[in-house]
Amino acid sequence: MYQYTEFDRQFVRARAAQHRDQLERNLAGTLSDDDFRPLRLQNGWYIQRYAPMLRVAVPYGELASSQLRVLARIAREYDHPSKEVFDKAIGTQATWGTTHLPVGYGHFTTRQNVQFNWIPLAKSADVMDLLATVNMHGIQTSGNCIRNITSDELAGVAPDEIADPRPFAEIMRQWSTLHPEFAFLPRKFKIAITGATNDRAAVRWHDVGLHLIKNDAGELGFRVFVGGGMGRTPVISTEIRAFLPWNQIMNYLEAVVRVYNRWGRRDNAYKARIKILVKAEGQRYIDEVEAEYQQILTRDGAPHTISQAELDRVSACFVPPALAERAQAAIKTVANNTTVPAERQKDYDRWLQQNVASHKNPALRAVTLSYKRLGQAPGDADADQLDTAAALADEFSAGEVRVTHDQNLLLPWVRAEDLPALWVAASHAGLARSNIRLLTDMIACPGGDFCALANARSIPVAAAITERYQDMDELHDLGEIDLHISGCINSCGHHHSGHIGILGVDKDGKEWYQVSIGGSDGSDLSGDAVPGKVVGPSFGALEVPGVIEALLDTFRQHRNGRETFIDCVKRVGLDTFKTAANSARLADKHEELHAMPKTSGYAKDVQEA
């Protein structure tokens, strides 16, 4: 992992002190709420339906066990609303049927960050100080600025890797951190980077997507894409550079972002993302970026050219950890020759198949802990579960985990011979369900139970589908399926890129869901990135599980051998599936149960979220 220098550490502490100064001025009445909002957003604090949410930055998803333990402490000690706040929340949510609101949880996001939902704003400065003790912060996790840079969950360990993207992600993190010119862009700006052939970072769906490649001469560089995004106008990004030398990436991004800052629309938040600019201006935007880049090179002297010394310095932080003191605690707690009981061999084999990935080092494996299970929202982990993950990381994975784009945790440095012991330990913790990449490994946003912008709840829909598909034989038979659920068109649950996408929509103040099929995040499994197509008019909440079942039954009827759902949809065509989905409509939708509680006026926060 990147090792923070004294400068890096004091920078994070200074940022925490800056937030405290702003918070104190806000509480004292000398910094108005309107003036404070964009400042606190850029530290990850935004007010939701009932309470503030904190989004903690996890640069390219890498976490040390010491950091996980601090996140656990925040969940345990700070993620609790006052009685007044909670009573209001549960009372209001009860009007549309929510009877349980989790408190004391961290939540893993699709952009590899960690969120908390209940921390009182008055305690926010204390939380930032606590985070700073382990080099963590919320810098640029919200607001109209360059956000946390995401990457491949298997960065540095994937066998199909051309080059490790993490040193570049770290160098770009530093470049983008408190960039003076780019703090108030027209809209948020998200960068994803991968160094592997299989795109596990959905780079084509980002404002900027970077793909490390080698050219014919064997030189390392980037294929650069710009203008991808979800929201109400899903757009797959455009290639703006087929090959950019690796050391020029920041000079080039400066041109990309400067032209966007100057030209991007600011009159309409829905048209302010760079995807709209790239669509509207097309080649003119590309030409302007190229001209600006040439000016940066020739007139400005290419100041942000990455030196070999700096790349070497940062890369040295990412050499694989020595595993000489291998899993000693594990050997103590679980017999070294752990054997899997015969009656559980099938479970273990399935876990090996779904949750265990091959590794650059043939002696090692990357293992995903599943945070998709009954009774907890997708990607939620309470304090004890965060501590457990830290303990597993220390025992089995050199103290390191990754937050995955699919809202799980991954252990990147597991010895093959430790797999049985890890499986036993993860099973005891409830984190060994063999559903990775299967239907119930769904992506879901917090939805209308927490988010002020949501049109509908995500968590109950996720729960209903999880409950319906508990039979592991059935789940494995269905094979790998991306199910993505968003509570509104802002698409935090990535419904556009799901093989099956579910989108909460508002009709007459009630909770409805649009279902789409055939979307792709751009991975090998899913094919070229493309938004899914809507199957028909939206469905009531109670109809959704039946619609999913109808789609999957249709898949089973038409499936060729072990064909995947997405391949079957592409081969058979959408119409067959549309017909099936629409035949699952109920005569009585019980609509009256699902009136949308009115949110109490923090729309400005979510507009910038």
Partner 1 sequence: MKLIAASAHSTGATAGKVIELANTEDPRTLDLSRVSRIDLNFPKFTDGRAYSQAFLLRRRLGFTGELRATGDVLIDQLVQMERTGFDVAVLRADQNVDFAQRQFDRYRGFYQGDAVTVSPRFVTHPQPAPATAGFVQTGAAI
- Three-state DSSP class for 137? coil
Q: How far is the CB of 268 from partner 1 (least distance, A)?
A: 14
Q: Which is nearer to partner 1, 86 or 175 (CB)?
A: 175
Per residue in 170-187, is it b (16+ CB within 10 Å) or e — as a string?
bbbbbbbbebeebbebbb
Query: Does 319 help bind partner 1 (rule: CB under 8 A)?
Result: yes
Query: Does 353 help bind partner 1 (rule: CB under 8 A)?
Result: no
Query: Does 589 help bind partner 1 (rule: CB under 8 A)?
Result: no
Q: Which is nearer to partner 1, 3 or 557 (CB)?
A: 3
Of 217, 309, 342, 587, the one binding partner 1 by CB under 8 A: 309
Q: Which two tokens stand for residue 122?
A: 């008055």
Query: Does 217 help bind partner 1 (rule: CB under 8 A)?
Result: no
| Nearest-10 Cα torsion for 498, 365, 407, 221 | -70
| Angle at the Cα of 280 from the Cα atoms of 279 and 283, rounded to 5 degrees | 75
Q: Which is nearer to partner 1, 31 or 593 (CB)?
A: 31
Of 99, 268, 283, 307, the one binding partner 1 by CB under 8 A: 307
Phi/psi of residue 583, nearest 5 degrees: -75, -10
Q: How far is the CB of 114 from partner 1 (least distance, A)?
A: 23
| Nearest-10 Cα torsion for 157, 159, 163, 169 | -40
Q: Which is nearer to partner 1, 68 or 364 (CB)?
A: 364
With contacts defined by CB under 8 A, name the span among 172-180, 225-233, 529-537, 547-555 that binds partner 1: 172-180
Q: How far is the CB of 18 from partner 1 (least distance, A)?
A: 6
Q: How far is the CB of 276 from partner 1 (least distance, A)?
A: 17
Restricted to residues 270-299, the positions that interact with partner 1 (CB under 8 A) are: 295, 299
Restricted to residues 83-102, the positions that interact with partner 1 (CB under 8 A) are: none
Q: Which is nearer to partner 1, 215 or 295 (CB)?
A: 295
Phi-psi category of 516—alpha, beta or left, where left has phi over 0 and alpha has psi -120 to 50? beta
Q: Which is nearer to partner 1, 357 or 465 (CB)?
A: 357
Q: Give whole-number Cα distances, 72 to 42, 395, 493, 507, 593, in Å.
A: 23, 18, 24, 39, 36
Q: Which runs of consecutive H residues, i.e. helices, occur in 190-307?
A: 249-263, 274-281, 283-298
Query: Does 17 help bind partner 1 (rule: CB under 8 A)?
Result: yes
Cα–Cα dist 413/398, whole Å: 6
Contacts of 524 (CB under 8 A, 6+ apart): 198, 199
Amino acid at the residue 506: D
Q: Which is nearer to partner 1, 10 or 345 (CB)?
A: 10
Q: How far is the CB of 170 from partner 1 (least distance, A)?
A: 11
Of 313, 476, 533, 570, the one binding partner 1 by CB under 8 A: 313
Contacts of 442 (CB under 8 A, 6+ apart): 372, 378, 462, 465, 466, 483, 484, 485
Q: How many Cα atoms within 13 Å fall on the side-chain side of residue 171?
A: 28
One symbol per residue from 410 to 449: x for binding partner 1 (CB under 8 A), - otherwise; what is it?
A: -----x----------------------------------
Q: How far is the CB of 296 from partner 1 (least distance, A)?
A: 9
What sign for the dihedral angle of Cα 330, 331, 334, 338?
positive
Q: Which is nearer to partner 1, 313 or 558 (CB)?
A: 313
- Please work out the total of residues on this chain that contact partner 1, with binding judged by CB under 8 A: 59
58 neighbors 170 (Cβ within 8 angstroms): no
484 neighbors 458 (Cβ within 8 angstroms): no
Restricted to residues 108-167, the positions that interact with partner 1 (CB under 8 A) are: 144
Of 14, 27, 242, 335, the one binding partner 1 by CB under 8 A: 14
480 neighbors 554 (Cβ within 8 angstroms): no
Which residues are near partner 1 by CB under 8 A? 3, 5, 7, 10-11, 14, 17-18, 21-22, 25, 30-31, 35, 38-39, 144, 171, 174-185, 250, 258, 261-262, 266, 295, 299-301, 303-304, 307, 309-310, 312-313, 316-317, 319-324, 360-361, 363-364, 415
